[in-house]
């Protein structure tokens, strides 16, 4: 149980936009809930952001929506399930943020990368904008914006763990990291990695502000179904003050 049941189930967010909550993974010894975002492009093709483990029932449900054509590794640590997806949908293109290839290779993960973001020309029919969030000497993440629904899609730049969905022993760590609901944001170690690149980060935040998101989808914890622009300001106030 993750607190986000049912798992491996398409959950509608807006037209041609879904989330899928997946099983818990262990990161730094702590249980992290996982979440994938699914976009159906105008062509009918599916775009999967941070794919979770390819449960057979989930794969079948996706096939009912359209063919999976795009697999996205949005930051340097969100790639673990891509090889399994590549085996299931070998015709899909794999898009990767900076650092994914080196990280996977250092851990002996055989991962094929077809397009490197943010430089690759994205053939997503104008439905999805993307931008590298600059300024960190460690964390490389691409932010995405689903234009038709005005949905900002982030991975670890905002984490928003809920008390009800984590074991009690984990709460002190989350309070120290600063990513506990209702004040979710980047964890403190990630925030510190931007200390020398604050100006570049502010430029990236300006890009996200310019998108004027109505909602924010997250990979970990409670996401924000409304007041997206205000939540963006709140979650990045550490970089803006």
pLDDT at 1 over 70: no
Average pLDDT of span 58-86: 97
Instruction: List the chain domain ranges.
Output: 11-240
Strands 11-14 and 17-27 turn out to be: antiparallel
This prediction has a pTM of 0.97
- Give tens-digit pLDDT for 160-205: 999 999 999 999 999 999 999 999 999 999 999 999 999 999 999 9
Query: Is the confidence at residue 64, as pLDDT, over 70?
Result: yes
Q: How many Cα atoms occupy the beta-carbon half-sphere of 77 within 13 Å?
A: 13
Residue-wise DSSP of 60-87: HHHHHH--EEEEEE-BTT--TTHHHHHH
The fold adopted by the segment(s) 11-240 is Metallo-beta-lactamase; Chain A (3.60.15)
Question: Could you tell me whether strands 151-153 and 141-146 are parallel, antiparallel, or unpaired per DSSP bridges?
Answer: antiparallel
- Residue 73's pLDDT band (cuts 50, 70, 90): very high
The answer for residues whose C-beta is within 8 angstroms of residue 142's C-beta and 6 or more apart is 72, 74, 75, 97, 117, 118, 130, 131, 132, 133
214 with 228: CB under 8 angstroms? yes
Average pLDDT over residues 99-103: 96
* Residue 184: per-residue pLDDT: 98
pLDDT surpasses 70 at 227 = yes
Residue 67: pLDDT above 90?
A: yes
Distance CA 169, CA 171 (A): 6
Summarize the confidence of residues 74-78 as an average pLDDT.
97
What pLDDT sits at residue 203? 98
Q: Does 2 score more than 90 pLDDT? A: no
Segment 129-151 shows an average pLDDT of 97
Q: How many residues does the chain have?
A: 241
């Amino acid at each position: 149980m993750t607190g986000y049941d049912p798992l491996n189930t398409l959950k509608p967010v807006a037209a041609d936009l879904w989330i899928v909550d997946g099983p818990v993974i262990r990161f730094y010894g702590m249980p992290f809930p996982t979440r994938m975002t699914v976009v159906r492009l105008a062509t009918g093709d599916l775009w999967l952001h941070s794919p979770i483990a390819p449960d057979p029932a989930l794969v079948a449900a996706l096939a009912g929506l359209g063919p999976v054509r795009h697999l996205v590794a949005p930051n340097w640590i969100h790639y673990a399930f891509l090889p399994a997806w590549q085996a299931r949908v070998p015709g899909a293109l794999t898009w990767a943020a900076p650092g994914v290839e080196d990280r996977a290779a250092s851990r002996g993960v055989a991962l094929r990368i077809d397009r490197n973001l943010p430089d690759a020309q994205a053939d997503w029919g104008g439905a999805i904008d993307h931008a590298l969030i600059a300024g960190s000497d460690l964390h490389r993440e691409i932010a995405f914006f689903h234009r038709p629904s005005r949905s900002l899609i982030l991975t670890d730049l905002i984490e928003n763990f809920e008390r009800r969905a984590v074991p009690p022993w984990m709460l002190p760590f989350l309070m120290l990291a600063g990513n506990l609901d209702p004040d979710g944001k980047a964890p403190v170690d990630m925030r510190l990695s931007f200390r020398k690149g604050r100006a570049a980060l502010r430029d990236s935040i300006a890009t996200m502000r310019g998108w004027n998101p109505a909602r924010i989808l997250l990979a970990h914890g409670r996401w924000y179904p409304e007041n997206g622009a205000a939540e963006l300001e709140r979650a990045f106030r550490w970089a803006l003050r």
